Amino acid sequence: MRRIVEDVRQRGDDAVLHYAQRLDGLQKPMDVSAQEMRAAGRSVSPDVRRAITLAAGNIRKVATRQVPRRWTITTSPGVTIEQRVTPLNRVGCYVPGGRYPLLSSLLMTVVPARTAGVGEIVVVCPRPDANVMLAASVAGVDRLLRIGGAHAIAALAYGTASIRRVDKIVGPGNAYVTAAKAQVSRDCAIDLCAGPSEIVIVSASGRPGWIAADLIAQAEHDPDARAILVTPSRRLAAAVADECARQLSREGPAAAALARRGGIVVTGSIEEAIELSERIAPEHVVCDNDKVAARLTRAGTVFVGRRTAQALGDYITGSNHVLPTGGAARGRGGLGAADFVRLTPVQRINARGLTRVGPAAVALARAEGLVAHARSIEMRLEGRER
C-alpha cells in the first residue's frame, strides 16, 4: 500500500492508470461522462430512483441544520471575535465498489459536501454501476472516476496531471483504503479512519427475531464486522441465538462475521449492559427506549425503539452513515456538513480594547517567560511607532 501511494505521488497518471487496470480491472475511460451518467440513470428502476431522491432529500435536510453559522461576539469593550465559515474548495469522496457498489455512501458524502457549499466534488469508485451513476447525478457530483483503492486515495491527496488534489478525502473503504487515508493524512485532511462495521444492541425486552435480523444485517457488511447483543435477560439471549441460527445462511460474509466476531453477552443488569456499551464505544448502538438512550453517550449513532432498524439509518433517515469505529466514538461523532467547512476566527481590537486586555496579556506572556510576546503588546500600549 505504501509503495502504491508513493508510486502515484511520483509518477502521477501513469501509476494511477497502471493500478486501475491491474487492481480495478479498468477497461473503460477513467472518467464517467455526464452523458454516460444520464444514460445509466435512465435504466434504473422507478422504485430505486424514487428512493435515491427521498434519501438525498432527507440527508440534505439534516446537513442543512449541521452547517455552522457565522457569528460575531464582543468579549471585552473594543474586542470583537468573528467566526467566519467558508466551504472547502475541493473534496474527494470515496465510494466502495467491491462486492456491492454503495450508492448510499455516495449520497452520505456528496450531499453534505454540496449542502455545505464545497466548490468541486470528485467521486472515486472502482466499479460504479447504474445506481451509483444516478446517485451521482442526483447529488451533484462534478466528476466521477472509475478508480479505487490506495491509488485513488493517493491521486486525490497529491494530485496528478489530470486529477487536481483535494482539500479533504472522505468516505468509507476497505482496509487498504483506510490505511492509505491514514498515510496521506499528513498531507491531506481526511474525515476518519473507519474500520470494520460494528453494532451493539442493548436490550432487555426486544423482539428476538428483529434483534437477530439487525445482527445479521450488520454482519453482512464484512467478514470482520462486529455484531453483539448485550442483555440482562437470559431468556432473550437464548431466543436471539435461536433466531440467528434460523435466519442465517450458512455461507456468506454474515455467517463468517458472526462466527468470528459476533456474540451475545448476558449482564447482571441493564446498567451493566449500558456500561459495557460505553466501554466499547461502537459505531452503532440500538436500544429499547429513551431512558436507556439518554445514557448511551459513546456511540457513532444511537437507534431508539423496536421499529428503529439500524439499516434504516444506512439509507434513508437522513442521518449520516459514515461513522467512527473501533472505539473512536469516544472522541468524535459521524460525518456531517460541518466536516466540509473551515471555521476561521477573525479578531479585531481597537484602542479601547487594547487598553482593557493588553496588560493582562502582558502578565500572562511574562508568566510563561515569553518576553518577546509581552514586548509586542507593550509597544502598542506605549504607543510606539518603531
Residues 241 and 226: their CA atoms lie apart, in Å, by 15
Within this chain, do residues 257 and 286 fall inside the same structural domain, yes or no? yes
Within this chain, do residues 28 and 7 fall inside the same structural domain, yes or no? yes
What's the pLDDT tens digit per position in 331-354? 999 999 999 999 999 999 999 999
Could you tell me if 216 and 243 are in contact, meaning their C-beta atoms sit under 8 angstroms apart?
no
- In the prediction, which pLDDT does 224 show? 86
CA atoms within 13 A of residue 152's CA, in its CB half-sphere: 34
Within this chain, do residues 35 and 169 fall inside the same structural domain, yes or no? yes
Query: Is residue 344 one of the residues assigned to a domain?
Result: no
What's the pLDDT tens digit per position in 108-130? 999 999 999 999 999 999 999 99
Structural domains counted in the chain? 3
Within this chain, do residues 210 and 108 fall inside the same structural domain, yes or no? no
Query: Is residue 141 one of the residues assigned to a domain?
Result: yes
Sign of the CA dihedral with 308 first, then 131, 17, and 340 last = negative
The CA distances from residue 271 to 275, 288, 292, 333, in Å, are 6, 13, 9, 23
Query: Is residue 255 one of the residues assigned to a domain?
Result: yes
pTM of structure: 0.94
Residues 314 and 123: their CA atoms lie apart, in Å, by 19
Within this chain, do residues 24 and 138 fall inside the same structural domain, yes or no? yes
Residues of the chain with pLDDT > 70: what percent? 98
Could you tell me if 117 and 110 are in contact, meaning their C-beta atoms sit under 8 angstroms apart?
no
Is the predicted pLDDT of residue 271 greater than 80, yes or no?
Answer: yes
- In the prediction, which pLDDT does 384 show? 65
- In the prediction, which pLDDT does 151 show? 98
Which of the listed residues 143, 162, 192 is the one where a domain comes to its end?
Answer: 192
Within this chain, do residues 9 and 55 fall inside the same structural domain, yes or no? yes
Is the predicted pLDDT of residue 386 greater than 60, yes or no?
Answer: no
Within this chain, do residues 36 and 175 fall inside the same structural domain, yes or no? yes
Within this chain, do residues 227 and 119 fall inside the same structural domain, yes or no? no
The CA distances from residue 377 to 75, 305, 347, 352, 364, in Å, are 18, 58, 15, 14, 11
- Of the candidates 168, 128, 161, which has an alpha carbon nearest to the alpha carbon of residue 144? 128
Provide the annotated active-site residues.
283-284
Output the domain CATH number for residue 115.
Answer: 3.40.50.1980
Residue-number span of the structural domain to which 308 is assigned = 198-330
Within this chain, do residues 24 and 155 fall inside the same structural domain, yes or no? yes
What's the pLDDT tens digit per position in 228-267? 999 999 999 999 999 999 998 766 678 888 888 899 999 9
Within this chain, do residues 186 and 47 fall inside the same structural domain, yes or no? yes
